[in-house]
Structure 1
Amino acid sequence: MNPQLLLVLGLLLLAVVLFVRNRPRMDAVALLMLAALPLSGVLEVHEVLAGFAEPAVVLIATMFVVGEALVRTGIAYRLGEWLMRRAGNSEVRLLVLLMLCVAGLGSMMSSTGVVAIFIPVVLSIAARLDLAPSRLMMPLAFAGLISGMLTLVATPPNLVVHGELLRAGQPGFGFFAFTPIGLAILVLGIGYMLLTRRWLASARSREAAGEPRLTLADLVDSYRLAGRERRLCLRHDSPLAGQALDGLQLRKQHGINVIAIERRRTLGRELLAANADSELRGGDILLVDLASPAIGLLGAYRELGLEPLGLKQSYYADHARELGLVEVALPPGSRLPGKTIQELGFRSRYRLNVVGLRRGSRALEGVLVDEKLRPGDTLLVAGKWKDIHRLQGLSRDFLVLSLPAEIDEVAPAQSQAPYALLSLAVMVGLMVSGAVPNVLAALIGCLLLGAFRCIDLDSAYRAIHWPSLLLIVGMLPFAVALQKTGGIDLAVQGLLAVLGEAGPRAILAILFAVTALVGLFISNTATAVLMAPVAIACAQALGASPAPFAMTVALAASAAFMTPISSPVNTLVLGPGQYRFADFVRIGVPFTLLVLATCVLLVPWLFPF
């Protein structure tokens, strides 16, 4: 070994040790390596910084933006709701469906992009089911990696190995050549995750979760709204039809406070805020808060032309992404004490409705419009989330308290959801067809999302997880350094010396193990480039078919389960799952050994020597 190679291996070993200790942070270690490699004289500055222009890095950044756009348009949460509906309260069913969905999508598009899209979905599901995100994040990453074993176009290493076979005069692989083995590994992965998920709910995840946040259900219970909520259909012959709410005085005369209006549109129903100038129409469904549950028994419904409709749960729960609740406190020095709720004019001034009043520890009931406020009172107001956001900081006379947890699931660009799906379809179509490189397809998708106002630039910049990108950029130069110093050639020569006496299945096992180990330090695509010629040369030396050897290298290149830096997919879930380096080693190494055994058994059966 030459001195420069020893220096590179020393730096690589130091980086791995620091990653395992998790001190300092992984992205800080990556920055240290970016500085150390040019200072060592092994690489030039431009070679070290070339990772910032690496297509994979740009692709990952764009996938963060795509994922955020799907959140802002509500698509991610709808997908989460579908998973939750199918899974019910069963964590087992949820994990199975999640891994199947991710693997299926990842077999046709970038697994990194799929995982980035599903991260906010999984976080939302974990919060709703009160699960530690760590129980779902690693299964999400493993499913993304396994998706690369399902089709020819699922991951670049498959195409690299396929191209090497063609250059060697072999027929190459078909589109679904990987599928039987990939499906077997997917079933194995689902079973493995069902067994090991109990070890993923670490104490760090529970500490990170902190105290449970206030929810809409908490506010409904605290102010005793549940018994007062009603859905009322406005008949076409109702005397209220065609009139504005401001002139009807429904609250004062009938104790009926209209919170929101469901109005039929061509493509379904739209939820409208109930403002002072809102005009009622026949067929509208009014979401109302009653001063007393007995109001409907007094003939008011009949008199006003209203028909009660069923209400299975709180309408705040049904419309949680559009309709919200927030507490407003009267701080010392407020000019509002002494005024009645009617005089506050919340509906006309702020487009919000006062639905509750807490005095001390007691929530007042009955008609509140004429109730005079006192210092220390807390109001509960209801309305559209965008109006609640606007309320913050508007007045020195009241203080908006902490927002409910549902604010995280608000979709500010929900009306743009069809355009987001169109943009996503264009991106996926370009990736599957191969008409343009994946990174260009992702950039086109992001530009379309911006043009359709599914996401703005500020949100796009905030969506990118910069520590993950720095980690990847910091490790990429090691591949160049190992090539320049002869480390790769030395490893290949040693491998060929070891393989000389081994039988075909033993050679497959060694090829898989070496490919997986090399993939810990360099990208899986670079690993496939290096190992595919070695595999084919081994087959030719044995007088055997190159197909099983090449297939083993391709599968091993995707088996990056052992560390959080062995694949961008793992790096993506590192933060949301609150994992440490050792967590991936503890779960990933045994699974990699299981995948190795599966490949040694199945590959020669499907691709005979």
Structure 2
Amino acid sequence: MSPDLLTVLLFLAAAVLLFAINRPRMDVVALLLIVAMPLSGVITMQEALAGFSDPSVILIAALFVVGEGLVRTGVAQRMGDWLVMKAGRNENRLLGLLMVSVAGIGSVMSSTGVVAIFIPVVLRITRAAGLAAGRLMMPLSMAALISGMMTLVATPPNLVVHAELQRHGLPGFGFFDFTPVGVPVLLLGVAYMAVARRWLTVRGGAKPKRHRPRLADWVEKYRLHEREYRLRVAPLSPLVGQRLSDLNLRAASGVNIVLIERATPRLGDRFVRPLAHTVLEAGDVIYLDLSQPTVDVDHVAELYRLDRLPLTAPYFSDRTHEIGMVEVMVPPTSRLVGKTVLTGKVRSDYDLTVIGLHRNNSPHPGRLLDTPLKTGDTLLLIGPWKAIRRLQADPSDLIVLTLPAEVDDAVPAAGRAPQALAALAVMVGLMVSGAVPNVQAALIACLLLGALRCVDLSSAYRSIHWQSLILIVGMLPFSIALQRTGGVTLAADVLIATTGGASLHTVLACLFAVTAVLGLFISNTATAVLMAPVALAVAQTLGASPLPFAMTVALAASAAFMTPVSSPVNTLVVGPGNYTFGDFIRIGVPFTLIVMAVTVALVPLLFPAF
């Protein structure tokens, strides 16, 4: 063993030890390695920093932005709602649906991208169900890794091994050649995690204390029950083609229009705000709040030819993606003091509708729209979340007192889910077709999301999890160092020497084990690059078909379950799941052995060696 190789192995051992004790933080350890390894002379400083320009790192950053686009447009929330709806209160069913969904989507796109997209979905699910995020983050990463065993394009290691076969004049693998192994592994993974997640050291309270009111609390406090109505504008209604400012419904009929649902959405904007210049159309569904309890809604419906529709939830609580509420106070310096809600033009100036008034800690019994406001009055406003956030930035006339708990789930670009899905479809299509490199496909999707106003620059930069990227960048130099010092060649020679004369199953098991162990320290793509030639050399020595050996390497490269640095997929869930190095050891090592057993049993049947 050369002195340089010994030095690299010492660095590797030190890094693993620090990861294991979690002192200091893993991204800090990565920075220490970037600084320290060039001092050994094995690699240069430029090579140590090369990870910052590595396409996989840029790809991960871009996929964070794609995930943010799906969150901001409500796609992620709807996915989480669907999972919760199908699973009910059964945590095992939720786990199974989550893992199957992730593995299915990951079979046609980057597993790292799938995790970046599903992390906010899982966080929302666990928050709604009162679970610690650590209960589902590990199953998420495991399912994403298993997705790499589903199809040829599911993960880069599969393509690396496929390309190595073709370079040797062999046909390579078909698109679904991996599926007969991946499906049994996925089913075993679901069953395994249903039992094994109890071994996790789950941190963080399952049911955090509530410090903010919910919308339902305000509905009770301001006595909003039985004030909400849904009505559809009939084709012959006199409201068709009229601007709201011309109709003046609030003054004429005591009717507050809270939201308008378009019958024919434009560019995905299904819901529109009731502004002065808004023109009503036939088929529009208007959400009304009757500010005056004496108003006869049936008379209003008959007068304006509106069709009554049933409510779908108490006081529009099923529309919290589009609209929210905020409690504000009128300060002494406010221009609204002495004015009514109508003369103060609250809705025109703030894009928010007043639906409640508290004076002296009790609901005001008078006519809401005609009551002059006083200093200290508390108002309840309803409207788009964007307008509520603008109100926070300008406290001159209205001081924001309380935001509801639902603000955490607010969707800034709720009407642009179709555009976000279209950008995602473009990215997946480009990745599957191979027309452009994966990183370019992801960057194209980011630009589309920005052009379609699904994300803005500020939210895009905030969405990138820099701690995960630094950790990945810090580990990449080990691949260069191990190759340069002969560590990989030494491992290959030992493998060939120790497997001479052994049975096929034993050779495949050893090949799987070496690949999986090597994947503990370098990326699974680099592992595939290094081990694919070794697999073909072993097959040639034995006079066997190279396909089962190549398939074993590809599957083992995806079986990176054992440490948080084995794969970017694991690294991404460390923070949200609040995991330690030991959590991955306890869960990952037994399952890796299970996957090895399945691989050794099935691969020779699917791809005969002799």
Q: TM-score scaled by structure 1?
A: 0.91
Task: State the Cα deviation string for residues 290-349 of structure 1 (Å, max 9, x = none).
Answer: 246664478454455444320030353232222111111245765655554444431232
Aligned to 2:534: 534
Aligned to 1:604: 604
Task: State the Cα deviation string for residues 538-563 of structure 1 (Å, max 9, x = none).
Answer: 33333433322222111111000111
Task: State the Cα deviation string for residues 399-455 of structure 1 (Å, max 9, x = none).
Answer: 113433433444434444444333322322221122222222222322333333333
Distance 1:521 1:363, change over 3 A: farther
* Structure-1 separation of matches of 2:499 and 2:185: 26
* Structure-1 separation of matches of 2:542 and 2:236: 88
**2:224 is aligned with what amino acid?**
L
Q: 1:181 deviation in Å?
A: 0.5
* Structure-1 separation of matches of 2:201 and 2:256: 45
Could you tell me whether the CA contact under 8 Å between 1:351 and 1:387 is conserved in 2?
yes
Q: Taking every aligned residue pair, what percent have the same amino acid on both sides? A: 60
- Unpaired segments ≥5 residues, structure 1: none
Aligned to 2:93: 93
Could you tell me whether the CA contact under 8 Å between 2:27 and 2:468 is conserved in 1?
yes
Aligned to 2:203: 203
Aligned to 2:53: 53
Could you tell me whether the CA contact under 8 Å between 1:133 and 1:205 is conserved in 2?
no
Aligned to 1:388: 388
SS in 2 for 1:204: coil
Aligned to 1:258: 257
* Structure-1 separation of matches of 2:417 and 2:315: 22
Q: Does 1:288 align with 2:288?
A: yes
Could you tell me whether the CA contact under 8 Å between 1:132 and 1:201 is conserved in 2?
no
* Structure-1 separation of matches of 2:201 and 2:221: 31
* Structure-1 separation of matches of 2:172 and 2:250: 75
Tell me which moved more, 438-447 or 57-66. 438-447
Aligned to 2:172: 172
* Structure-2 separation of matches of 1:350 and 1:510: 68
Aligned to 1:230: 229
Tell me which moved more, 318-327 or 54-63. 318-327
**1:114 is aligned with what amino acid?**
V
Aligned to 2:137: 137
* Structure-1 separation of matches of 2:298 and 2:578: 56
Aligned to 1:468: 468
* Structure-2 separation of matches of 1:345 and 1:587: 60
* Structure-2 separation of matches of 1:571 and 1:42: 26
**1:606 is aligned with what amino acid?**
L
Q: 1:251 deviation in Å?
A: 4.5
SS in 2 for 1:227: coil
SS in 2 for 1:203: coil
* Structure-2 separation of matches of 1:199 and 1:227: 49
Task: State the Cα deviation string for residues 478-513 of structure 1 (Å, max 9, x = none).
Answer: 111122222222322333333235332222222212
SS in 1 for 2:356: strand
- Note the 1:379-418 alignment, pairs <5 A: 379-418=379-418
Could you tell me whether the CA contact under 8 Å between 2:328 and 2:402 is conserved in 1?
no
**1:229 is aligned with what amino acid?**
E
Distance 1:266 1:355, change over 3 A: closer
**1:438 is aligned with what amino acid?**
N
* Structure-2 separation of matches of 1:298 and 1:422: 42
Aligned to 2:506: 506
SS in 2 for 1:382: strand
Aligned to 2:186: 186
Aligned to 2:217: 218
Task: State the Cα deviation string for residues 439-476 of structure 1 (Å, max 9, x = none).
Answer: 22222322333333333333222221111111101000
- Note the 1:5-404 alignment, pairs <5 A: 5-200=5-200, 202-204=202-204, 206=206, 211=210, 213-235=212-234, 245-246=244-245, 250-251=249-250, 254-265=253-264, 270-276=270-276, 278-280=278-280, 283-291=283-291, 295-296=295-296, 299-303=299-303, 305-331=305-331, 339-359=339-359, 361-364=361-364, 367-404=367-404
Distance 1:236 1:338, change over 3 A: same
Q: Does 1:489 align with 2:489?
A: yes
Could you tell me whether the CA contact under 8 Å between 1:205 and 1:577 is conserved in 2?
no
Tell me which moved more, 26-35 or 84-93. 84-93
Q: 1:32 deviation in Å?
A: 0.6
**1:46 is aligned with what amino acid?**
Q
Could you tell me whether the CA contact under 8 Å between 1:325 and 1:381 is conserved in 2?
yes
Task: State the Cα deviation string for residues 168-192 of structure 1 (Å, max 9, x = none).
Answer: 4544322221110111101111111
Q: 1:114 deviation in Å?
A: 1.8
Tell me which moved more, 183-192 or 351-360. 351-360
Could you tell me whether the CA contact under 8 Å between 1:134 and 1:205 is conserved in 2?
no
* Structure-2 separation of matches of 1:166 and 1:596: 25
SS in 2 for 1:257: strand
Tell me which moved more, 77-86 or 142-151. 77-86
* Structure-1 separation of matches of 2:107 and 2:10: 37
Distance 1:211 1:411, change over 3 A: closer
Task: State the Cα deviation string for residues 249-302 of structure 1 (Å, max 9, x = none).
Answer: 654564432222233226798323234454555544321122466644784544
Could you tell me whether the CA contact under 8 Å between 2:321 and 2:414 is conserved in 1?
no
Q: TM-score scaled by structure 2?
A: 0.91
Distance 1:140 1:244, change over 3 A: same
* Structure-2 separation of matches of 1:234 and 1:286: 8
Could you tell me whether the CA contact under 8 Å between 1:262 and 1:269 is conserved in 2?
no
Could you tell me whether the CA contact under 8 Å between 1:216 and 1:316 is conserved in 2?
no
* Structure-1 separation of matches of 2:349 and 2:170: 75
Q: 1:56 deviation in Å?
A: 0.9
Could you tell me whether the CA contact under 8 Å between 1:508 and 1:552 is conserved in 2?
yes
* Structure-2 separation of matches of 1:428 and 1:284: 35
Tell me which moved more, 189-198 or 232-241. 232-241
Could you tell me whether the CA contact under 8 Å between 1:291 and 1:366 is conserved in 2?
no
SS in 2 for 1:274: coil
* Structure-2 separation of matches of 1:416 and 1:282: 23
Distance 1:357 1:580, change over 3 A: farther
SS in 2 for 1:195: helix
**1:218 is aligned with what amino acid?**
D
Tell me which moved more, 588-597 or 540-549. 540-549
* Structure-2 separation of matches of 1:198 and 1:477: 35
Distance 1:295 1:93, change over 3 A: farther
Q: 1:564 deviation in Å?
A: 1.2
How many residues end up aligned between the 2 structures? 608
Q: 1:238 deviation in Å?
A: 5.1
**2:515 is aligned with what amino acid?**
T
Distance 1:508 1:69, change over 3 A: same
Tell me which moved more, 128-137 or 177-186. 128-137
**1:264 is aligned with what amino acid?**
A
* Structure-2 separation of matches of 1:74 and 1:262: 17
Tell me which moved more, 346-355 or 304-313. 304-313
SS in 1 for 2:577: coil
SS in 2 for 1:552: helix
Could you tell me whether the CA contact under 8 Å between 2:291 and 2:355 is conserved in 1?
no
**2:352 is aligned with what amino acid?**
L
CA RMSD of aligned residues (A): 2.8
- Unpaired segments ≥5 residues, structure 2: none
Aligned to 1:561: 561
Task: State the Cα deviation string for residues 57-103 of structure 1 (Å, max 9, x = none).
Answer: 11111111211222233333333333344334443333222222221
Could you tell me whether the CA contact under 8 Å between 1:334 and 1:396 is conserved in 2?
yes
Q: 1:246 deviation in Å?
A: 5.0
SS in 2 for 1:576: helix
Distance 1:424 1:364, change over 3 A: same
Task: State the Cα deviation string for residues 563-601 of structure 1 (Å, max 9, x = none).
Answer: 111101111122222222222222111211111121122
